[in-house]
Structure 1
């Protein structure tokens, strides 16, 4: 596996959190509404589309953060993209650890369940990070679909700790962990948690 040595690549880093698309273990909230097999099928194809759209862009270095760790070498991941395990801990601990992997440039982390995200969204998010210490790009449900740090090594010790995940308070709680860092807010997109999100995305495309 390629090295994460900060001297190797000074481009901005895009970290995409992905899960092995196993029915009953991925998108379980969606699965309770449309069936676990259908939810896993949706997630598998959504992830493939996302990686085709963002993974090969030369403007940034893409890293796949994979769960579970045992799926790191699975054949379903594209060749030529760096991979790293998500590791242990709650969501905030994993996100903070991934964002602060050794790197010389800014780092941006996104989920893999955002059908509307484009290379333009990513480039604009990195642009906002040039003028601020951190970035959060809100989602419609009170959370966020992207979080970034201009200088990952300067993340405060309590970064993303004690956050009420999957709640209307997620974004506010996360902003409160920044300490003295100055945040920017990015564009609003919709991630997919339940069937209503799929319906809203389809209607927006009509």
Structure 2
């Protein structure tokens, strides 16, 4: 039986490490608190769902074996080396047979219905993306009826308005690509303020 696999990409939350653009706008302590809060809430909402297996792909690699992760982060694997595209391709190819969906850990609005919609879209498409308003994306999924295409994510201009378009272009033309809801990550002070205003 082909199981559904959900992968959460997460970085070990350490004060002064990571989320540098956000920290520049709101301070290192508040950025650290935000990262911990959002990851813990995400794992609470998605970690115990029987409709998929959940794996947390961790950076840096050594942090996968460390303590202090929120509840729900039980199965952790290292992201491994390479740029973001290589690490994502590796994580998507690793699980046993079945469709795989990967999300980031800095998107506060992710809910179970978003993940359900992505897996449903993979019933009709070879790949699925969840667009972000800045031209990137918060979700990528692959049906995995065959091996991932060679060159998937090659040449993607990460952290730019072209990330989604480049990622779609890296797929073979024969691949059917679907889109799900647009959500935004929080990677700067303006995004953090919008999130704060909406969460009250």
TM-score, scaled relative to structure 2: 0.94
Q: Offset of 1:153 from its aligned partner?
A: 4.1
CA distance in 2, matches of 1:133, 1:44: 33
State the match for 1:75 in structure 2: 67
Contact kept? 1:99, 1:152, Cα under 8 Å: no
1:115 paired to 2:108: yes
CA distance in 2, matches of 1:90, 1:152: 25
CA distance in 2, matches of 1:137, 1:81: 25
Q: Offset of 1:198 from its aligned partner?
A: 1.6
- Paired residue secondary structure (1:72): helix
Q: Offset of 1:70 from its aligned partner?
A: 0.8
Structure 1 unaligned regions, length at least 5: 1-8
1:149 paired to 2:142: yes
Q: Offset of 1:102 from its aligned partner?
A: 3.8
State the match for 1:45 in structure 2: 37
**Structure 1 ranges of 4+ moved more than 6 A:** none
State the match for 1:96 in structure 2: 89
State the match for 2:28 in structure 1: 36
Change (3 A) 1:15 1:152: farther
The partner residue of 2:187 within 164, 179, 193 is 193
Structure 2 unaligned regions, length at least 5: none
Change (3 A) 1:75 1:153: farther
Q: Offset of 1:24 from its aligned partner?
A: 2.4
1:134 paired to 2:127: yes
Q: What per-residue deviation string (whole Å, max 9, x for no partner) do you get for residues 98-137 of structure 1? A: 0011421100000000100100110111101111000011
CA distance in 2, matches of 1:89, 1:122: 26
Contact kept? 2:38, 2:106, Cα under 8 Å: yes
CA distance in 2, matches of 1:36, 1:202: 17
Aligned length: 198
Contact kept? 2:47, 2:72, Cα under 8 Å: no
Q: What per-residue deviation string (whole Å, max 9, x for no partner) do you get for residues 67-106 of structure 1? A: 1111112222236732110010000000011001142110
Change (3 A) 1:95 1:80: closer
